[in-house]
Structure 1
Amino acid sequence: MNQMLLRVPREETSLRQRATQTLRQAILDGHFTPGQKLSERELCESLDVSRSCVRESLQHLQAEGLITIIPHRGPEVTTISPKEVRDIYEVRAHLESLAGRGFALNASKDQVRALRAKLTELSQPEITQDRALMLNVKNQFYDILIAGCGNLVAGQLLQQLNNRVTVLRRISMAQPGRFPHTLVELDAIVAAIEQSDGETAARLCEEHVRKAAANVLQSMQPAAAKLQA
């Protein structure tokens, strides 16, 4: 039996990957906002790529939940409804609880130290005053948590949720006074992990996510009121 040789055009694939990553990061950084319509022509000019490359990138981001392609209207940045926020954070609460418990019981000493160091970095004034940097460092905190949790499936599912959660974190962090509470909550989680207390770490992770969900929903209310006015 002859074995079929599959060839992938490396340069073209790499270009599509770069275009997808650039668009993804623009959404996560807030350069493109929820509900904003996107022009394929303008994206082609901005990214200096073909229309087919842009379309494939948009389809990929649609699968991630970041882009919505509306028939006869075209692509726009996905607007996450309050119902979807509740659903996302409900799933995240359970997964993060698993990850917190798993990390407390399975992580190496180096991973625990890395988690504490990342939390210390997150609390530095130069970080707290730069929202984009703050989101990046917080994502790194969760990368460490996922890597050391010992549950590959929970880690993969959390990573799949991460892009939409990052968009929602941007909303949550805009709420005055929320971030100091976030640091206190994360500090309690890391302290439980340092004591290898899996049950407490799991409970605190779930509580942290539920508080974050409530904050996002509260932050969304003024925008919803403006739309209805």
Structure 2
Amino acid sequence: MSLLEQLEEEIVLGLRFPRERLVEDELMRAFSAKRHVVRSALQELESRGLVERKPNVGAFVKAYTAKEVRDLYAVRELLEVHCARLIPVPVDGERLEELVEIQRRHDAGVDAGQLRDVTKANTAFHRTLFGLSDNTVLVEAIQRHAQMAHAIRSVTVTSPEYLSRSRNEHWAMIDALRSGDSETLADLCREHLLPSRDAYLTRLTSAGPA
């Protein structure tokens, strides 16, 4: 796994918190990496919306304001709900079985408490789900905005209640695809976004002014 992938995973899993400073020298020591590799990783994470860099200060894990969270999730809802409605239903059995197999991996990760396996399977599930639309431009836009939300979603990633709800909603999406119910699928995709958004906003309210 590259330094870029390791840092992204640490942000996704909540091992690095919003506003946490990312010091080049410390990262070089921790990952036995050269400075140009660290800088390149931080630049790419910045382009993905996971890191922000301030002149003469350094790099930090991205922290969102309440408005930024609402704006990002409004865009995610527009993209994902629209994409769900574009998926031709009922879905071909072979393509649906691929999604089922991914969800079984997600289930296994949840049951075993293996968060890395859960997050990998979750990413694969949504990539495969929206890929059923056969609109690669739209799928890329969805993935881009989902990446931007990594630091926001990290608030709920360790919550058993959230993981259980996420798993149940994934299976409900599969059932909607199997039965050909596009509107239920669209509604599920909309509802699926809410827990991480609302948990982050609650944390901001509890924390008070930065």
Q: Deviations over 1:67-124 (max 9, x none)?
A: 1111111111111222222122111112111232233538532121122233333234
User: TM-score of the superposition, structure 1-length normalised?
Assistant: 0.78
Q: Which residue of 2 aligns with 1:169?
A: 153
**Runs of 5+ consecutive residues of structure 1 not aligned to the other structure:** 1-16
Structure 1 residue identity aligned to 2:140? Q
Q: Which residue of 2 aligns with 1:68?
A: 52
User: Is 1:79 the equivalent of 2:32?
Assistant: no
Structure 2 residue identity aligned to 1:72? N
Q: Give runs of aligned pairs for residues 92-103 of structure 1, distance below 5 A.
A: 92-103=76-87
d(CA) in 1 for partners of 2:31 and 2:194?
38
Q: Residue 126 of structure 1: CA displacement?
A: 5.2
From the CA coordinates, give the structure whose radius of gyration is larger.
1
Q: 1:111 aligns with which of 71, 89, 95?
A: 95
Q: Residue 143 of structure 1: CA displacement?
A: 1.9
User: TM-score of the superposition, structure 2-length normalised?
Assistant: 0.84
Query: In 2 relative to 1, CA 191–215 (structure 1 residues): closer, same or farther, beyond 3 Å?
Result: farther
Preserved CA contact (<8 Å) 1:101 1:198: yes
Q: 1:120 aligns with which of 99, 104, 114?
A: 104
Moved more, 114-123 or 131-140: 114-123
d(CA) in 2 for partners of 1:34 and 1:45?
22
Q: Residue 219 of structure 1: CA displacement?
A: 4.5
d(CA) in 2 for partners of 1:18 and 1:68?
20
The root-mean-square deviation of aligned C-alpha atoms, in Å, is 2.7
Q: Residue 23 of structure 1: CA displacement?
A: 2.7
Q: Which residue of 2 aligns with 1:146?
A: 130
Query: In 2 relative to 1, CA 178–51 (structure 1 residues): closer, same or farther, beyond 3 Å?
Result: closer
Query: In 2 relative to 1, CA 62–187 (structure 1 residues): closer, same or farther, beyond 3 Å?
Result: same
Which structure has more RCO (C-alpha within 8 Å, separation ≥ 6)? Answer: 2
d(CA) in 1 for partners of 2:52 and 2:196?
25
Q: 1:181 aligns with which of 133, 140, 165?
A: 165
User: Is 1:214 the equivalent of 2:198?
Assistant: yes
User: Is 1:37 the equivalent of 2:37?
Assistant: no
Q: How many residue pairs get matched?
A: 210
Q: Which residue of 1 aligns with 2:43?
A: 59
d(CA) in 1 for partners of 2:139 and 2:90?
13
